[in-house]
Structure 1
């Protein structure tokens, strides 16, 4: 056969490396363990710096917004590092985090909810995932409610927030080690982002693409769909309970924050199948970046508005309440509608709803949607996400900047993600991407960015 012919050049001792057929071992290695060809996050140097920067930012958010002060202008005068190690970590806080993790792992393994197939992997296989996130949410909130009813210390997260940051950081690091250890086993599929050969970089980005414990417990689903989402809802409820314990009532801004965040989490778990298509889930390996950013960074930021309201109760004018509700509703509609359009088209481009969308056919044989919300901006789901997060922050009033870090960090993250997506697609689609950008001109915010 022509594909099997080997060309010999005059004077050569044998086939060139580029001309010979790959051996079965080489083919398997290329499929399961492709080498990283392009660094992200500044490469090994950027990864090494991030090991220190991410925890520093997490602790900064706590120390900059505490019970005695939550004002950037007063950080220098109120800043104080605890000298007692027991203020940084305790057996109780570590026990709470590990116990919560074990509960979520147990609930995930319960054979309830439908089993769906994930994205097609490089070897043509598709992993099965159990979609029972709503069950986990209901059980977790039910346990919290029962503990509150029987007067157990449900305000523990607020009362020991610094200890909880350290405890979650420890658990996140341990999971990073577990995932990296699993990537060293033979036959494990590796992420194309975390197989450079540089340990510091690979440990940060994550080598193992889909690590599973006992072939049942999927680490990505546990981290993304359980620990992060359900975790920061329970953290918010802890803040709500603390405000009730302190003031004897729960303020309207606190109710709004917790209700809007609950809607966000409920949506994420109701449409849990959508998470399987995001880039972090389908291409990113499990490493320090995912473990720390998802388990520590995001819950700290998402719970910041509620934590602020415990010690800084505010009265909102009716106009601001109306603005909050409009932002939340419009943002949620954009977020949900755009995600539904995207995932519906990906699952079945021949469905009636998908056929109504206009597409740009590319030389690669794939299509780029250029109508609906996706013809409005390139990332309408990002726009909706930002609007909802801004609504949460507005519940804290407009007199302090610190609670708005929730919105600021999400904005920076999504801008970076949109720029990276633009660079990747430009390499992937070449001239077709220029045509697409001329049709859909803005990335996230119309006429601005």
Structure 2
């Protein structure tokens, strides 16, 4: 049931160690390289970096007790909301042992509750009451990294209990690699599934709250909420909609590779709790100290780009979900495999193997456009996201090759493009 892992990803233990160390380091670097003091146009020299990392006081400055306690309270709020708020229980896909996990669906309700409390604070006490996420950014970042490390160590140790179902890719026997990639497939505490909880709640909702805090910081600097720039409103609206859409469609998560295939280790923990909220909010943080006025024409153009990406993303996913549920209202073409399953070969899924990724990338580009082109750093997200999705597509290709064999080769002749039609 738990065969040893024979195939490494990320170039094995050395690559896993490198990513484990560089993701937190790069998260800090994005702050120190793009902030109010340098205007997001830093002059890179080694002297100040070496001076900082060799100074114990600099390391101590990364810790903020108040920020850590607030972050812990935030995480506890998300857990209590999962427990208290009503929600349906849905079954996931069939596991290797023949069982199915059940997941409680109330991420969207948690989101609405968090927004309600946040709105109440701002309306009653003004925007200056919610700038703390901007003011104590480094402290919150440190707290989230610590939470990621603690969770990854806990689930790794807990995975050695009798009867644990391990991830096929996380049972190598090497501590560094298994700690990073995730040893157990579905670590849980009773009915509380740690992996799916972290995927949608603490980091994803915090991303929106951080954006709101950045808008409040800009409002304080510019004399009130009425003076928040159109560029900031666009970033808030785009990313709010993206998060709300993901949370509202929570059941779709349980068919993704993160849930069905990957174990839960440091890779997913730091991705969910650190990378998503603290790097995806880069545009809003930049606009907090570098306001940009777009005007009507540029605003409408950027909205058009985002809507185009969302249309691709949502219609492609709808085609797939309807087909998986036995519906085919568009009479899309498909090929049957020896396994008895069917693969779409027309519609969006005939243009590329992952048209939903294409929509994601168009939206990611639209999120950076409100910052205009005064700095390349605010376009880091779309560049990183392109690399991430290309890597994920490669992983999916390998998994499907093992799953379908020769049928997958036939499919790739029918749908040769991976993400970008006629390009890649």
TM-score (norm 1): 0.88
1:148 aligns with 122
- 1:93 Cα shift? 1.0
**Bigger CA drift: 231-240 or 63-72?**
63-72
SS at match of 1:300: helix
SS at match of 1:118: strand
How many Å separate the matches in 2 of 1:193 and 1:171? 23
SS at match of 2:161: coil
**Bigger CA drift: 62-71 or 301-310?**
62-71
**1:176 matched to 2:152:** yes
**1:320 matched to 2:298:** yes
| Equivalent residues, number | 414
1:252 aligns with 230
Q: Is the 8 A contact 1:63 1:79 kept in 2?
A: no
**1:428 matched to 2:403:** yes
Q: Is the 8 A contact 1:114 1:131 kept in 2?
A: yes
**1:264 matched to 2:223:** no
- 1:72 Cα shift? 4.9
**Bigger CA drift: 138-147 or 299-308?**
138-147
- 1:79 Cα shift? 5.5
How many Å separate the matches in 2 of 1:265 and 1:122? 31
How many Å separate the matches in 1 of 2:24 and 2:103? 31
- 1:343 Cα shift? 2.4
1:128 aligns with 102
Q: Is the 8 A contact 1:111 1:130 kept in 2?
A: no
- 1:425 Cα shift? 2.3
2:4 aligns with 35
How many Å separate the matches in 2 of 1:79 and 1:414? 34
How many Å separate the matches in 1 of 2:216 and 2:47? 26
TM-score (norm 2): 0.93
- 1:85 Cα shift? 4.4
SS at match of 2:44: helix
**Aligned residue among 135, 138, 156 for 1:162:** 138
Do the aligned partners of residues 357 and 64 (structure 1) sit closer, same or farther apart at CA in structure 2, a change above 3 Å counting?
same
1:202 aligns with 178
Do the aligned partners of residues 448 and 70 (structure 1) sit closer, same or farther apart at CA in structure 2, a change above 3 Å counting?
farther
- 1:305 Cα shift? 0.3
2:83 aligns with 109
2:198 aligns with 223
Unaligned runs of 5+ in 1: 1-29
1:118 aligns with 92
**1:56 matched to 2:34:** no
How many Å separate the matches in 1 of 2:305 and 2:47? 34
Cα RMSD between the aligned structures? 1.9
How many Å separate the matches in 2 of 1:218 and 1:344? 27
SS at match of 2:372: coil
SS at match of 1:296: helix
**Aligned residue among 371, 387, 396 for 2:371:** 396
**Aligned residue among 337, 350, 359 for 2:315:** 337
1:386 aligns with 361
1:359 aligns with 334
SS at match of 2:241: helix
How many Å separate the matches in 2 of 1:56 and 1:198? 23
Written as runs of structure 1 = structure 2, the 5 A alignment for 1:238-317 is: 238-248=213-223, 249-317=227-295
- 1:398 Cα shift? 1.7
1:20 aligns with none
- 1:259 Cα shift? 0.8
Q: Deviations over 1:294-322 (max 9, x none)?
A: 21112222100000001111122544322
SS at match of 2:169: coil
